[in-house]
Structure 1
């Protein structure tokens, strides 16, 4: 029996031009990116239930926010039924082919996209 291949999960800034290897493009920000027309973004999915809450986002970008604590709080939010269902849907998409998580964050490596990628097995 062949083991299932690990899903291929990309993380990119939504402002970067789409690439053929992107596969399904999923915007994982709660707010639409400033200055970007919807037709230019080439977004296939926008599951807002997977995005950090407004309160969590504001806390993280405030003076007391640390990435480790953000990760812990965000993982608790991802355990909510709506978020868990959306995560399952993304896992299904990733099983079919590449998925690219899109964000407007200037530093995706220290954003919610890395937490999501970990939950998706990428």
Structure 2
């Protein structure tokens, strides 16, 4: 039995030596631009913007009038992907400054809310 243990030790030593001698590809690094990676803070800001928008009393009343009542805005927005939040935040930024929502804007918000409700 001592020979089998010695044999294993020699094979292991040979494999370790071969691993140390094997060529390793060189590592390289480079600068990553700020626009290459999505900013977590930007995503968080957009999510907060959408949550604040959905918590407005006039929007909540309008959604309830359309039959979409009982929405838990914070939970729904938390369940949305970053891409969905980004798209909705862009739509919010494009709304008129007076706060008047068109039927198309309400329809888009309702469709997104229903999609999120179905996915949950």
TM above 0.5, yes or no, is: no
> Greater relative contact order (Cα 8 A, min sep 6): structure 1 or 2?
1
| TM superposition score normalised by structure 2 | 0.28
Greater C-alpha radius of gyration: 2
Per residue, is there more strand in 1 or in 2? 1
- Of Structure 1 and Structure 2, the greater helix share is in 2
